[in-house]
Amino acid sequence: MLNLFDINNTFFSVGSYPVSWIEFVGTIAGIVAVWMAAKNNILTWPIGLINITLFFLIFFQVQLYSDMFLQIYFFSISVYGWLFWKKEFAQDQPIHLLSAKSALILGIVTLVSTLVLGFLVSNIHHYFPELFTKPAAFPYVDSFVAVASIIANTLMAKRILENWIIWIVVNIICVFLYFQKHILFVSFEYLIFLGLAVYGFWHWKQIHFKELSVQK
């Protein structure tokens, strides 16, 4: 049973690419979770927990350590988002927009955090050689993905529209990053995520405009 969590345990093949059980189930769960988010559906959070748990194991096995640690945060914020949305939906909480000041602060935080995390992750195999036997792959790019994803997921949990703009950028990068790491099914998943993020931005924007018209 434990072998099901091994990325080398093949479920089926697409051409010459073997798709593992863990990659397949994690990917499907992720697609459904993002679709639920784009539809403004609270089920995004519990379904997302399945994706997060499986991707934690995948990223450890392909040495994307920033992404691996990111899943720990995702797990926590997903539980928070689940509870927050449940409470706010009951109160008919509207979708919000970021202020220019908040956007600037988030931009600075993203840059600084990426540089710091990238440095730490690029040396993690020196700090903990017994646990991390191989150096991190693409440490700074991976760190940007991690930091930006944390910000985007937090904004989503808070029902802030701009989370989708950040997800669009993250998903574009992830398509190429995971392709380079030869987890092609996950790369394809993020291509789908990109389309869903564009749809999510459009759909949430329509909801926001409707909420504004009702308030007037």
Q: Answer yes or no: are the C-beta atoms of 197 and 171 closer than 8 Å.
A: yes
Single out the residue of 49, 10, 2, 1 nearest to residue 26, CA to CA.
49
11-39 per-position pLDDT tens digit: 888 777 788 888 889 989 999 998 998 88
156-206 per-position pLDDT tens digit: 888 899 999 999 999 999 999 888 878 787 788 889 989 999 999 999 999
In degrees, to the nearest 5, what angle opens at C-alpha 192 toward C-alphas 190 and 194?
70
> Are β-strands 17-20 and 10-14 bridged in parallel, bridged antiparallel, or unpaired?
antiparallel
106-152 per-position pLDDT tens digit: 999 999 999 999 999 899 888 888 878 888 888 899 899 989 998 99
pLDDT, the chain, mean: 87
Q: Is the pTM of this model over 0.85?
A: no
Q: Quote the pLDDT of residue 110.
A: 96
pLDDT above 60 (res 154): yes
